[in-house]
Amino acid sequence: MGDSSFPSGGFAFSWGLETLKADGIVCDRSGVEAFARSQLRWRWATADRPFLHRAATASDVVELAGLDCEVEVMTLARELREGSRRAGRSLLRAHGSMETPGVSAYRSAMADGNALGHLPVAQGVVWKGMGMAIDEIEAVSAYAVAAGIAQAAVRLALLGPLDAQSMLSALREDMEAVLVEKPPERPFAFTPAAEIAVMRHECGDARLFAN
């Protein structure tokens, strides 16, 4: 499920890294690693993870639509919000074609304008439909964040391909650390540098990535 060649559009998102590089704020391996750590700890663990959890245990599409609304209002930067929706819709499209259980009802609600298909909600729905346990779902989702950043960093020439693999290995400890912690009662995110970068990306010249 976490295979980077699974066709769900993840390669087109940098989640702020493209602008951080263009601005000279992230320019080497230690910068990329710090970026990945902050994304894991202060966005994925505190916001994506609770939504993932609630999506995987939701009783119906109405509840999923409610989660989508929460993600929508919590996500300030436009390209983060749209990126989350586009990535979620792409994952759902692929699993719609594969007839993964639970996906078609959610996609119908989206087609009717009643749900948004944000990424953590979509991941919860899809991977639960694939029969995965919640701890597996969380591990794959956290890994997807780290792997996505590593790949974007390679394409931005911030890391060599081997360096990217070694960074992913180093990040395993961080992933493990957040996975054993209890998720917060109420979702929140605090990655101001990345969010400002994503806002600046909207009108910047650097446009290899969608955010």
- Out of 21, 81, 89, 128, the only residue in the binding site for another protein (CB under 8 A) is 89
User: How far, in Å, CA of 7 to CA of 211, rounded?
Assistant: 18
Q: How far is the CB of 186 from another protein (least distance, A)?
A: 31
Shortest distance in whole angstroms from residue 127 CB to another protein: 17
Q: Provide φ and ψ at 120, rounded to 5°.
A: -65, -35
**Helices and strands per DSSP (H, E), number in the chain:** 10, 0
Q: Which stretch binds another protein (CB under 8 A): 5-13, 28-36, 131-139, 181-189?
A: 5-13
* 82 neighbors 119 (Cβ within 8 angstroms): no
- 203 scored as a contact of another protein (CB under 8 A): no
Taking CB under 8 A as the binding criterion, the range among 23-31, 62-70, 89-97, 98-106 that sits at the site for another protein is: 89-97
Rounded Cα–Cα distance for residues 127 and 101 (Å): 9
- Does the footprint of another protein cover residue 200 (CB under 8 A)? no
Within residues 109-128, the interface with another protein by CB under 8 A covers 111
Which residue's CB is nearer to another protein, number 19 or number 90?
A: 90
Is residue 160 involved in binding another protein (CB under 8 A)? no
82 exposed, middle or buried (CB, 10 Å; 0-12, 13-18, 19+)? middle
Indicate which single residue of 152, 164, 168, 194 sits in contact with another protein (rule: CB under 8 A). 152
Contact yes or no for 141/43 (Cβ under 8 A):
no
147 close to 168: Cβ distance less than 8 angstroms: yes
Question: Does 22 participate in binding another protein (rule CB under 8 A)?
Answer: no
Tokens of 184: 């917060």
The answer to the question of residue 12 lying near another protein (CB under 8 A) is yes
Helices within 23-132 (DSSP H only):
29-39, 49-56, 61-74, 78-97, 103-111, 119-129
Q: Is 191 in the site for another protein (CB under 8 A)?
A: no
Q: Which residue type sits at 75?
A: T
CB of 13 to another protein, least distance (A): 7
Which residues are at the interface with another protein (CB under 8 A)? Answer: 5, 7-14, 86, 89-90, 93-94, 111, 152, 155-156, 205, 207-210
